A and B are shown apart, each in its own frame.
Chain A
Amino acid sequence: DADVTQTPRNRITKTGKRIMLECSQTKGHDRMYWYRQDPGLGLRLIYYSFDVKDINKGEISDGYSVSRQAQAKFSLSLESAIPNQTALYFCATSDLTSPGGTDTQYFGPGTRLTVL
């Protein structure tokens, strides 16, 4: 089984709809991240969480919100989706605190979101 899972893997929705993307991990990591990938723009950080009570905005948080329901779960919401939020979304986890922890990030398989 994959260590970092994302649901759904693909989603097509309409402008104005509320969408939630979910991420779960079994790696036992405290840190979780949401990125979006657009052609030519690389990976851009939306939100990150270093523990259950910690939520931080990333580079492009406008139009998004997150919820850290548990150590293993981190959800990304688009309250009112718009077409320029069409992208590939990745969740990632990392761990700095365990012995030998290097904060290396482990990525989920991605969610392809299309907003019409």
Chain B
Amino acid sequence: ILNVEQSPQSLHVQEGDSTNFTCSFPSSNFYALHWYRWETAKSPEALFVMTLNGDEKKKGRISATLNTKEGYSYLYIKGSQPEDSATYLCAPSRSGNTPLVFGKGTRLSVIA
């Protein structure tokens, strides 16, 4: 089973602050890295999938980068808004024939 670490576990920021958090995973046998956003009382929803070292993805104020050689990905939120409050999960996989392994997530609270 892949060892996936996400840090910090939780984060409280003020509205308008920019923030970032980390997903660490084994760099060997890397296939893909997924980020999901999970709002309270809802289901996880996909944000990004990245496969290549150096990949960067962006959706509105949220962006992500990938370093497969050292085994980490960063998720950035620029100008946090209360509606960004959610748990952000990362999930790497080792191949197309193995399931994703989810980290425990970073819980973000944005205070108005």
Name B's interface SS: loop
Q: Are B97 and A104 neighbours in the complex by a CB distance under 8 Å?
A: no
Cα-based distance from A16 to B49 in the complex (angstroms): 41
Among B44, B89, B96, B102, contact of A96 (Cβ-Cβ < 8 Å): B96
Q: Are B43 and A90 neighbours in the complex by a CB distance under 8 Å?
A: yes
Given A43-B89, A90-B43: A103 in contact with B1 (beta carbons within 8 A)? no
Q: Are B43 and A42 neighbours in the complex by a CB distance under 8 Å?
A: no
21 contacts between A and B (CB under 8 A): A41-B104, A42-B89, A42-B103, A43-B44, A43-B89, A50-B97, A58-B99, A59-B1, A90-B43, A102-B49, A103-B32, A103-B49, A103-B96, A104-B34, A104-B46, A104-B49, A105-B36, A105-B44, A105-B46, A105-B100, A109-B42
Interface residues of B (CB under 8 A from A): 1, 32, 34, 36, 42-46, 49, 89, 91, 93, 96-97, 99-105
